[in-house]
Amino acid sequence: MTLQFFDFPAARDDLRADVLAGLAAQPKAIPPKYFYDEAGCRLFAAICAQPEYVLCRTERALMEQHLPEIAAAIGAVDCVIEPGAGDCLKVRALLGALHPDQLVVLDIAGAPLAAAAELLANDYPGVAVTALGMDFIHNLEAAAPYLTADRRLVYYPGSSIGNFAPADAAALLARFRQLAGEAGQLLIGFDLKKDPAQLHQAYNDGAGVTAAFNLNLLARLNRELDANFDLSQFRHYAFYNLIAGRIEMHLVSLVEQTVSVAGQRFHFNLGEALHTENSYKFRSDEFSAIAASAGWKLIRGWEREGFAVQLYG
């Protein structure tokens, strides 16, 4: 087994600064990357198992169906890089098909990433696994010194790119282009535009798991920033914004209230929303235009039941 784990400096100061700035803004907003504390990671895994949330199952089925074609289109690679790797489950199929020398996984939740990377290293002893506990949105370029191979594939599954507005998505894809190198490739998954009713159900599951996931953000702020949010006074609210082409997730204040966070006080009006996440949906041609603006050239794409995976070089 070959495993290296590097935990980058604590994101606590970033959390404090981002949350205080977001709560002072109008409208109030907090970046979705802060969903993923230990409890948030567990709740997201539970979301993926809900019958209404088919994205994860559809992507897995697409990869299983087309893996030989995808691997053939990629060809030989020495290094696979997965930003936002989480539990490292999705990359396993690629490792078995591509046999790279090195895997580099990045995630803001360092401890869960380290545990998942250890399992990977045990199961794939021929692959040198490097796990970087980092906020890759801020620190992506800091991963470059850990890349020891030249033929690189950036793997970004799960429609995580949908959390970024189109201009921000293009900027991130351009940074992936730099990390991959001139001969590098990008394999990326994204959710396609579809029936708004289906999208609404996916983010408002009957078991309330997505609501618990959303509210857990406030529990994290209570624990880590000495906040005093009363979770019972906020309601999960998610809807599809047809004009913007995105799901929006909010936490809506059920009363007029003032909340203390890290020693500062913030007022919420009755019905005021705290914006916690966007999840953009794309047409295939829309996404390929965004990728092209970031310096990527489409090689091939695959689709299944409203989800797409595309390969770029």
For 52-194+282-312, give the CATH class. alpha beta
Q: How far apart are CA 121 and CA 136, in angstroms?
A: 21
Per-residue confidence at 111, pLDDT binned at 50, 70, 90? confident
How is the chain split into domains, by residue range?
A: 52-194+282-312
Buried b (16+ CB within 10 A) or exposed e, 3-27: bebeebeebeebbbebbbebbeeee
pLDDT digits (tens, 9 = 90+) for 36-89: 998 999 999 999 999 999 999 999 999 999 999 999 999 999 999 999 998 999
Return the structure tokens found at 231: 């979770």
Cβ of 283: how many Cβ atoms within 10 Å?
12
**Hey, is 207 helix, strand or coil?**
coil
pLDDT digits (tens, 9 = 90+) for 239-295: 999 999 999 999 999 999 999 999 999 999 999 999 999 999 999 999 999 999 999
